[in-house]
Each structure stands twice: as structure tokens, then as C-alpha cells.
């Protein structure tokens, strides 16, 4: 059992609980992990990898993500979301035009300081754990990349109190921190009251399923929910023979006359992905091998 499942995480559920539910459904003994953590108050797309696919999570994390979120103006909470305590208020309510103009300033590459109630590790400990313990610490700024920012709320429907925004960004961008930075740019305060992730690279919200729907199906009848190990990888595919497959699994270079250079190649044998290889002069070398006992 190797592949991906496109789960829709519900609000007030932690990602590790989703992992455990999928692991139980698979029958235990199979490694499971998710690509991109969602805060408990958030909902949306949570790609779950299992088996060999868990070794490809970093590649899925490199894909852009899409978020829909609501900013509430004039209030700042310690967690920058509705689960926290109010720590400050402002009477300033930005105009629709000023918000639209401010959004353009955040496009592209910039630095962002994550919220202290985030999963960023501090000496191996999640920042939110230290924050809940009342520990004093500081988080360094991170390089982020925002590809697109659009207002979902129309000008005619804007009431001055809150506004809905869609963001397309690279991994590592924190929506709550963005809302805080946007509010500061507009000389006010804000927190994110609602957050929905609608896509993670190739995994789309309109194709996702809930954990409840998944676990109601027997594994033998749930193949329509499972995506192959190499799903979404934007690397060219090469088909290898049995000798070449063995060479890759033994950590050896395979000499091939490749039509062009690529950083990575998906190597398949009998229509199954058996290795992710790095392109080198004259061929490929193994990077991630997926040894299948059925093909030994």
C-alpha cells in the first residue's frame, strides 16, 4: 500500500488525528504523514501520504498552496486567530480601495515573522508549546513568496468590519502573520477568523474527501480515493529494465542516453515507480528508492 489520499480536514481537528485515523483504516504497520500542517481552527485540503509516498512529501510541499481567509479588522488576539484572547483593539477600519492597494505591496518575495502560536520549531520544540507555557522567545523572519492576492469580498458587500481574501503562496507562508502585517500596513489591527486551504499543488478541494467518508469504505472498495506514489510530480519518466532496476536499488548509477537534462527523473518498472533518481552526466543516480518485495 503506497500512495496519497486527498483528505478534507474539518475545523477543530488536528492533523495528527487525521494521520492516525488513516493509519487505522490502512490496517496499521504502514507509515503515514501529511503534507503541510493546518491549524486546528482551519479546514481544507490535507494530502495524506502513506507507504513509499511519505518520502516524497518534501516535493509536494514545494507546490504553491491556495487559501481563502477572512480578516476581522480592529482586533488583535495573541494567537492571531479566533481561538486566542483579545490583547488589543483599534477603531481604524480601512477602506476597500486602501486594502486593494495594500495587497499589491505583498506580492513576490519578502520576509515574514511567523506567529508564536505556530508549528515552527525552536530547538526542536514547536513554538506554540513554548507560547502556551508562557516562555519568552523570538522567531526569526522567514523568506516567503506570495504569487497572487485577490479580494473575494466585492466592494458593494464590504461592511468595513471584515473582508475575505484569496492567497496563492509557497510553502512556509503563514496566513495569520500575513493578516497581521497587512493590518499594520493599513494602520490597524486584524486577526484571521476563518481559514480554508483549497489546494496543495495538484490536490484540489473539490476532489477531496472527509476522513469519515474514507473510513466508511473498505480498502478494497476505496481505490478511487487513492492517488499513485508519483502523483503530481513534475519530473519526466523513464522506464527501466530489470537489470537497471536492480542497479538503482543497489545505489549504483544507471548509464542512459537521456533526451535532455532534468534534475530528477521518475524511474518506473512494470508501470510502478521504483525510484526517484537525480540526473547526472551520462545517466541517473538513485535519490529515493522504493523497494517493493513483489519486484525483488
Angle at alpha carbon of residue 108, lines to 107 and 110, rounded to 5°: 100
Cβ–Cβ under 8 Å, residues 64 and 202: no
- 19 included as an active-site residue: no
Task: Please determine, for residue 24, whether its predicted confidence score (pLDDT) is greater than 60.
Answer: yes
- Residue 211 predicted with pLDDT over 70: yes
In Å, what is the CA distance from 7 to each residue of 33, 196, 200, 287?
12, 13, 11, 28
Which of 12, 19, 39, 76 is an active site residue? 39
Bigger pLDDT: 200 or 129?
A: 200
pLDDT tens-place string over residues 63-84: 999 999 999 999 999 999 999 9
pLDDT at residue 242 greater than cutoff 70: yes
What three-state secondary structure class fits 52? Answer: helix
CA-CA-CA-CA torsion for 138, 73, 184, 198, nearest 10 degrees? 70
Helix (H) or strand (E) holding 240: none
Q: In the predicted model, is pLDDT for residue 294 greater than 70?
A: no
Q: Record the pTM.
A: 0.91
Report pLDDT for 220.
67
83-140, pLDDT tens digit by residue?
A: 999 999 999 999 999 999 999 999 999 999 988 888 788 888 888 888 888 888 888 8
Residue 179's closest CA among 42, 45, 37, 7? Answer: 42
Question: Residue 61, Cβ neighbours under 10 Å: how many?
Answer: 16
**Residue 205 predicted with pLDDT over 80:** yes
Confidence of residue 295 (pLDDT cuts 50, 70, 90): low
pLDDT tens digit sequence for 141-194: 999 999 999 999 999 999 999 999 999 999 999 999 999 999 999 999 999 999
Domains located in the chain, CATH noted: 3-63+202-227 (3.30.2350.10), 65-200 (3.30.2350.10), 237-295 (2.30.130.10)
The reported pLDDT for the residue numbered 113 is 92
Mean pLDDT of the chain: 92
249-280 per-position pLDDT tens digit: 999 999 999 999 999 999 999 999 999 999 99
pLDDT of residue 215: 85
CB atoms within 10 A of CB 286: 19
Amino acid at each position: 500500500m503506497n500512495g496519497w489520499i486527498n483528505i478534507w480536514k474539518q475545523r477543530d481537528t488536528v492533523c495528527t488525528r487525521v494521520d492516525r485515523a488513516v493509519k487505522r483504516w490502512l490496517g496499521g504497520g504502514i507509515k503515514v504523514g501529511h503534507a503541510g500542517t493546518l491549524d486546528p481552527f482551519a479546514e481544507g485540503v490535507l494530502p495524506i501520504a502513506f507507504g513509499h509516498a511519505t518520502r516524497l512529501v518534501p516535493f509536494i510541499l514545494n507546490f504553491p498552496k491556495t487559501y481563502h481567509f477572512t480578516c476581522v479588522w480592529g482586533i488583535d488576539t495573541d494567537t492571531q486567530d479566533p481561538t486566542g484572547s483579545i490583547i488589543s483593539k483599534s477603531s481604524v477600519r480601512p477602506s476597500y480601495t486602501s486594502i486593494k492597494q495594500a495587497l499589491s505591496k505583498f506580492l513576490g518575495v519578502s520576509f515574514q515573522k511567523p506567529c508564536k502560536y505556530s508549528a515552527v520549531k525552536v530547538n526542536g520544540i514547536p513554538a506554540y508549546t513554548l507560547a502556551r507555557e508562557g516562555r519568552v522567545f523570538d522567531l526569526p523572519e522567514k523568506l516567503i513568496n506570495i504569487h497572487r492576492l485577490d479580494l473575494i469580498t466585492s466592494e458593494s458587500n464590504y461592511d468595513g468590519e471584515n473582508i475575505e481574501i484569496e492567497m496563492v503562496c509557497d510553502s512556509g507562508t503563514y496566513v495569520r502573520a500575513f493578516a497581521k502585517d497587512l493590518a499594520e500596513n493599513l494602520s490597524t489591527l486584524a486577526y484571521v477568523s476563518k481559514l480554508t486551504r483549497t489546494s496543495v499543488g495538484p490536490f484540489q478541494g473539490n476532489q477531496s474527501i472527509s476522513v469519515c467518508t474514507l473510513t466508511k469504505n473498505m480498502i478494497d472498495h476505496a481505490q478511487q480515493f487513492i492517488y499513485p506514489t508519483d502523483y503530481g510530480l513534475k519530473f519526466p519518466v523513464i522506464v527501466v529494465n530489470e537489470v537497471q532496476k536492480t542497479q538503482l536499488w543497489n545505489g549504483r548509477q544507471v548509464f542512459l542516453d537521456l533526451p535532455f537534462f532534468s534534475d530528477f527523473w521518475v524511474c518506473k518498472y512494470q508501470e510502478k515507480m521504483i525510484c526517484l533518481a537525480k540526473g547526472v552526466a551520462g545517466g541517473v543516480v538513485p535519490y529515493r528508492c522504493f523497494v517493493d518485495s513483489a519486484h525483488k
